[in-house]
Amino acid sequence: MTPIAQRPPLLTMSHIEKTFSGDVVALKDMNLTVNEGDFLSLLGPSGCGKSTVLRLISDLMHPTRGKINWVGGQGSDDLGVVFQEPTLMPWATVAQNVFLPFRLKGVSYASVRDDIFEALKLVGLENFQAAYPRELSGGMKMRVSIARAMVTKPRLILMDEPFAALDEITRFKLNNDLLELKAAIDCTVIFVTHSVFESVFLSDRIVVMAARPGRVIHELEVDTPYPRHEDFRTSAEYAAHTRAASEALGEAIGVAA
């Protein structure tokens, strides 16, 4: 893995400000450079603008001030998104759901059949192609959602608290799998969470945000090399990183109050 300082930048946000109607300042003077290969967690209390950052990057919303710049321009296949809910189409099978990004680009199913199979295999659901979402458990639905986000092999995947609604055992399992997936498809991830433990286990960069107005107050590096396994959760290193992240988050909450 390339050290963070040597990674080429993928996307820069400079002096971003977002003000909603009614003068609610969601983000103020937000600066962030996302590098190629980062697993970057946005950690912060609710209302700190974490999700707003994702909406700005995915172009669902435009900044009031400031600029978001994709280094080398943004291609149409560059982005994959996973929401807090699995957000599957209930009327479509698992394979058709994963096919969606291709379908909307006008690509035929036959030409991407293998890609869909590969993506489903990576999340361990290659035997569920013909199943409907209602036949799957919450964790399996989320896996389909992840397969859909990465099937086009995007450069950047945005994840907005994807595991928040799952039980802890399922969440741990998906954490492990997500790290393997990221290594397998070699992409960049921005992961929004309010869990210190999740952010430390998954990411190599943790950006801590404070609320009112939303802004970055700390940035931490988790230098434990990948692959990280379940035993990382009980290591002294992990404990030290979670303490540092907890303190930063505590400061974020203190600042906000």
Partner 1 sequence: MTIADDAPLAPVVDEEEAARARRDRINRIAKWTLPSLVMVFSILAWHLYVTINDIPHYILPGPMLVAQSIIDDWGLLWPAMLTTTRLTVLALLFAILGGVALAVAFTQSRWAEMSFFPYAVILQVTPVVAIAPLLQIYVESAFLAALLCAWIVAFFPILSNTTIGLKSADHNLEDLFTIYGATRWQRLRYLAAPSALPYFLGGLKIAGGLALIGAVVAEFVIGRAGTGLGLASTLLEASYRFNFGRLYAALILISTMGIVIFAITSLISHLALRKWHESALNRDT
Q: Considering only residues 100, 164, 166, 217, which one is a binding residue for partner 1 as defined by CB under 8 A?
A: 100
Q: Considering only residues 17, 33, 66, 83, which one is a binding residue for partner 1 as defined by CB under 8 A?
A: 83
Please name the helix (run of DSSP H) or strand (run of DSSP E) that holds residue 169, with its range, or none: helix 168-185
**Based on CB atoms, which residue is closest to partner 1, 130 or 253?**
130
Q: Residue 39 Cβ, how far from partner 1 at the closest point, in Å?
A: 21
Which of the stretches 88-96, 168-176, 181-189, 235-243 binds partner 1 when contact is defined by CB under 8 A?
88-96
**Based on CB atoms, which residue is closest to partner 1, 59 or 223?**
59
3-state secondary structure of 41: strand
**Based on CB atoms, which residue is closest to partner 1, 134 or 229?**
134
Which of the stretches 33-41, 96-104, 113-121, 221-229 binds partner 1 when contact is defined by CB under 8 A?
96-104
Neighbours of 143 (CB within 10 A): 26
- Amino acid in position 29: D
Q: Residue 1 Cβ, how far from partner 1 at the closest point, in Å?
A: 28
Which of the stretches 65-73, 102-110, 174-182, 185-193 binds partner 1 when contact is defined by CB under 8 A?
102-110
Query: Does residue 110 touch partner 1 according to CB under 8 A?
Result: no
Q: Considering only residues 87, 129, 224, 246, which one is a binding residue for partner 1 as defined by CB under 8 A?
A: 87
> How big, in percent rounded to 5, are the helix, strand and coil portions of the chain?
40, 25, 35
Q: Give which of 37, 4, 45 is closest to 196, Cα–Cα.
A: 45
Residue 179: both structure tokens together:
């790290």
Pairing of strands 39-43, 188-193: parallel
Q: Give which of 207, 237, 232, 241 is closest to 43, Cα–Cα.
A: 207
Dihedral, 1, 248, 14, 18 alpha carbons, nearest 10: 130
Cβ pair 207, 199 in contact under 8 A: no
* Interacting positions 111-150 with partner 1 (CB under 8 A): 132-134
Q: How many residues bind partner 1 (CB under 8 A)?
A: 21
Query: Does residue 214 touch partner 1 according to CB under 8 A?
Result: no
Cα(163)–Cα(176) distance, integer angstroms:
12
Cα(63)–Cα(19) distance, integer angstroms:
8
Which of the stretches 57-65, 169-177, 183-191, 212-220 binds partner 1 when contact is defined by CB under 8 A?
57-65
Q: Any bridge partners for residue 34, and if so which? A: 11
Which of the stretches 12-20, 87-95, 175-183, 223-231 binds partner 1 when contact is defined by CB under 8 A?
87-95
Query: Does residue 62 touch partner 1 according to CB under 8 A?
Result: no
**Site residues (CB under 8 A) for partner 1?**
58-60, 76, 79, 81, 83, 85, 87, 89-92, 100-101, 103-105, 132-134
